[in-house]
Amino acid sequence: MLAKGWKSSALKKEEFSNKGDDFQNGVETSTRLQVTAPPKDAIMLAVLADAQTVTELPLEEVQDEAIVGRVGEYIKNAKGLNLPPDIRVLKTRLLRLSSTILLSETFLARPDDVAALKKQLPTGCGECENVPLLVGKDLEDLFKDARSTNVNMESTCGGIDLAFAVSGRTYLLSHALICESDSLIHDLSEAKPRLVFKLVGGF
């Protein structure tokens, strides 16, 4: 099991069926694991590998106004993001994962958003944070497989959780549509990011 700043070997405790649950997420069977105490409210990921082969990778926040401007223009004009025409770009964070991998999170708001007028970044479901994730030279949208085909305001929520390495490959865990707890894992080892795992309804 892996979370930000924490890792633990996990032992299988029991399996149980989800078929009778009121909230269906497409997962028929769940496995309960026994681990050391994780951080409170941590978003955790189970990796089927020896604990010693799984390593969390640091995400270093960097500054580059030229790239921030480029990302802002992309978001304003990209048809695939399906954003309202009067959307406001509040802030873009750049996160350096390696010498060749640069990620960005961009916080958006409607013009009448009270929190935005107070220059506060939204923090979650109460005031949804809207964060398209982009990576690389061509600004790839990491949420494109989770986006609505309609005007996409509430359903761009989410953010980067953590990056990790397994068997020499680099992966990124992020959550999209946070109010419904969707999770995405991308393999960032190649020139183009590749979605390798998508879960609707949370871990």
| Count: domains in the chain | 2
| Residue 72 neighbours by CB distance under 10 Å | 15
User: In the block, which residue shows the tokens 């991998």?
Assistant: 101
- Which of helix, strand or coil describes residue 77? helix
**In a shared domain, residues 96 and 192:** yes
Decide: 164 and 171 in contact? Cβ < 8 Å.
yes
Asked whether residue 41 falls in the same domain as residue 117, the answer is: no
pLDDT grade, residue 65 (50/70/90)?
very high
pLDDT tens per residue across span 82-140? 777 777 787 888 999 999 899 998 877 777 766 655 655 544 444 444 566 666 667 88
At CA 55, angle to CA 93 and CA 170, rounded to 5?
60
pLDDT, averaged across the chain: 79
Is residue 81 domain-shared with residue 179, that is, in the same domain?
yes
Nearest to residue 97, comparing CAs of 161, 177, 49?
161
Site of tokens 């633990």 = 8
Gyration radius (Cα) of the chain, Å: 18
- Indicate whether 145 and 189 sit together in one domain: yes
Domain containing 25 equals 2-51
Is residue 18 located within the same domain as residue 72? no
Kindly state whether residues 42 and 107 are assigned to the same domain. Answer: no
What is the amino acid identity at position 192? K
